[in-house]
Amino acid sequence: MLEFFYNWLLSLGVESEMAKNWTAPLLVGLCILALSVIADFIVKRIALRTLKYVIEKTTTPWDDAFVEHRVLDRLAHMAPAVVIYLLADLPFAGMTEADRDYCVAIVRDAVQIFVVIISIWSIAAFLNAALSVYQTFEISHEVPGRGFVQVLKILTYFVGGILILSILLDRNPVYFLSGLGALLAVLLLIFISAILGLVAGIQ
């Protein structure tokens, strides 16, 4: 197998020394990708389907809303990401410590960004599910929750953007929070009526 990948790299025009150094990492990386595909299959085709079957047998509205708005489907995308993150150091085991740390950091940063995006996507679906359940109650006719959900979504996108920037720039997320106060002030002005309505409904 190693010889096959070595010859394949040579056929692509890769220099002999470089091909020799990258044959094993490439093979290990492909094995990790295969494991991530298997994890994805197990979670989505077996675990998720089983969970949905159980949810169909319940009478509570929350879990049905989660299925309808695909909250669980979106969370399931994290399974292959977890596998890649945990095994990211294996393909680079033969490198010097500095090179290994550099390569592993790139892979794990990419995975972290992917997880943040999936988390934002999942939270948005969760908020949609919560809104659909809320709208089944009488109070929703007096105090619409859509505006409040929109505020929460914007905050989620904002926090997600900060996390992605902190990963890309290797900075503490707190560094980017200086603009949060200004954003909250703008959001309060935009959605003040929805927020006041929600507070009045609670009271």
Q: What is the residue-averaged pLDDT of the chain?
A: 84
| pLDDT on residue 14 | 72
Of the pLDDT bands very low, low, confident and very high (cuts 50, 70, 90), residue 46 is very high
Query: What would the pLDDT profile of 103-114 be if each residue is shown by its tens digit?
Result: 999 999 999 999
pTM: 0.80
Residue 144, both tokens: 């619409």
Amino acid symbol at 166 = S
| pLDDT on residue 117 | 97
DSSP character string of 126-187: HHHHHHHHHTTSTHHHHS--HHHHHHHHHHHHHHHHHHHHHHHHT--GGGGGGGHHHHHHHH
| pLDDT on residue 17 | 74
Amino acid symbol at 188 = L
| pLDDT on residue 181 | 63
Query: What would the pLDDT profile of 160-169 be if each residue is shown by its tens digit?
Result: 998 999 999 9
127-163 burial code (b ≥16 CB/10 A, e <16): bbbbbbbbeeeeeeeebbbebbbbbbeeebebbbebb
Q: Are 25 and 94 in contact (CB under 8 A)?
A: yes
Count of CB atoms situated within 10 Å of the CB of 182: 9
Q: Identify the DSSP state of 70.
A: T
